Amino acid sequence: MPENARQGRVIAAHGRHYGVQFGPGELRHCYTRGKKAGPAVGDQVRVLPEGRDEGVITEILPRRNLLYRSDASRSKQFAANLDQLLLIVAPEPEFSSDLMGRALVAAGSAGIPVRIALNKADLPTIAGARERLRAIAALGVPIVELCALDAEQVHARLGAWLQGRSTLLLGQSGMGKSTLLNALVPHAQAATQEHSRALGTGRHTTTQTRLYPLPGGGDLIDSPGFQAFGLQHLTQHEIEQGFPEFTRVITDCRFYNCTHRHEPGCGVLAAMARGEITPERHALYQRILAENEAARKW
């Protein structure tokens, strides 16, 4: 390692430009060389300083985890070294059960605990959203109802869970993620403008990911809203890990290489027949598996 290399933490990312924090008040605009996958927000990196406030990222230090999505054309990193994921849904606009399920699979495959925030709980359509989340709640995923416009309520229901941990905020566009962020981190707008100046990207955009320290300790990572969530980087075993209801019954499968789609003596199919696994969740598993198999053929 070069003698003048320094270690810092990536707290903002926009394309191949990164904001790296080295200490209070020291933020450098950094970039990478070559075509290798770059760092994610939350990564610890080594940087060769250049000039007064720039630098070259030379190394990404070992990660505890990395949450990302992928399809046939590209991968999109959300964040690294996470303690937990806060997935935001709402009754209006109606959240996608498919996208929510895929996010849960991605987190489950990476061993990242998840909590769901059901936002806009003051709307009359909240009952329908509760019903759609019933199968997920039955899996043991905690669901917290709140109204992100009520900052006091948000702190009361999420504050203790967030404190001292690195949490990724994730959700489709329109779920109220930015409102929730502003309730938890009142200075987020000011910090956003500061980071944008450091990255040279202007105002906050949907293509940027940023880390915000929480007033009571820990941090929140705000990611762009998404309308697609491919999982083509996952193996069949990793996909299975995202379906906790499969864990116990997979041991009943007759064949060691069972795909849980059509094989005789399949523990998963038997559990679905008994009503222990919902057809909707099994259909999601099959869609993800089929997409990944089709991608490999190309």
Determine the pLDDT at residue 206.
44
**Whole domain around residue 285: which residue ranges?**
236-297
Statement to judge: residues 91 and 121 lie in one domain: yes
Contact 123, 91 (CB under 8 A): yes
Statement to judge: residues 172 and 131 lie in one domain: yes
Task: Tell the residue number behind the tokens 């404190």, with chain if given.
Answer: 163
Cα separation, 88 vs 84, in Å, equals: 13
Contact 183, 151 (CB under 8 A): yes
CA dist 172 → 4, 81, 178, 257 (Å): 42, 22, 11, 35
15 within domain boundaries = yes
Quick one: which of 276, 260, 259 has its CA closest to 268?
Answer: 260
151 within domain boundaries = yes
Lowest mean pLDDT among 69-78, 100-109, 222-231: 69-78
Statement to judge: residues 217 and 150 lie in one domain: yes
229 within domain boundaries = no
231 within domain boundaries = no
Q: What angle do CA 177, 238, 139 make, to 5 degrees?
A: 60
Determine the pLDDT at residue 142.
97
Statement to judge: residues 174 and 240 lie in one domain: no
Provide DSSP, 189-233. HHHHHHHHHHHT--S--TT-EEEEE-TTSSEEEE---BS---BTT
293 within domain boundaries = yes
Mean pLDDT throughout 83-97? 96
Statement to judge: residues 34 and 131 lie in one domain: no
Is 182's pLDDT higher than 50?
yes
Burial of residue 201 (CB within 10 Å: 0-12, 13-18, 19+) is middle
Rounded to the nearest 10 degrees, the angle between the axes of helix 177-184 and helix 188-199 is 110
What domain count does the chain have? Answer: 3
Statement to judge: residues 176 and 157 lie in one domain: yes
Lowest mean pLDDT among 27-31, 73-77, 155-159, 241-245: 73-77
Q: What is the CATH number of the domain that holds 74?
A: 3.40.50.300
Statement to judge: residues 126 and 213 lie in one domain: yes
In 3-state terms, what secondary structure has residue 284? helix
Listed residues 45, 60, 75: the one ending a domain: 60
Q: Which amino acid, one-letter code, is at 45?
A: V
pLDDT over 90 for what percent of the chain?
77
In 3-state terms, what secondary structure has residue 125? coil
Q: What is the CATH number of the domain that holds 292?
A: 1.10.40.50
Listed residues 182, 198, 222: the one ending a domain: 222
How sure is the predictor about 275, in pLDDT bands with cuts at 50, 70 and 90? very high
Q: What is the CATH number of the domain that holds 52?
A: 2.40.50.140
Lowest mean pLDDT among 111-120, 127-136, 152-161, 192-201: 192-201
Q: What is the pLDDT of residues 151-165, one digit of tens each?
A: 999 999 999 999 999
Statement to judge: residues 54 and 78 lie in one domain: no
Determine the pLDDT at residue 36.
73
Statement to judge: residues 145 and 202 lie in one domain: yes
Contact 191, 210 (CB under 8 A): yes
* Alpha helix segments (H runs only) across the chain: 97-109, 126-132, 134-138, 151-162, 177-184, 188-199, 236-241, 247-250, 267-273, 279-297
Statement to judge: residues 54 and 117 lie in one domain: no
Residue 188 CB partners (closer than 8 Å, separation 6+): 181, 182, 212, 222
Is 35's pLDDT higher than 90?
no
230 within domain boundaries = no
pTM, 2 dp = 0.89
Cα separation, 60 vs 66, in Å, equals: 12
Listed residues 60, 76, 101: the one ending a domain: 60
Chain-centroid distance of CA 12 in Å reads 15
Is 122's pLDDT higher than 60?
yes
Statement to judge: residues 71 and 204 lie in one domain: yes
Statement to judge: residues 146 and 266 lie in one domain: no
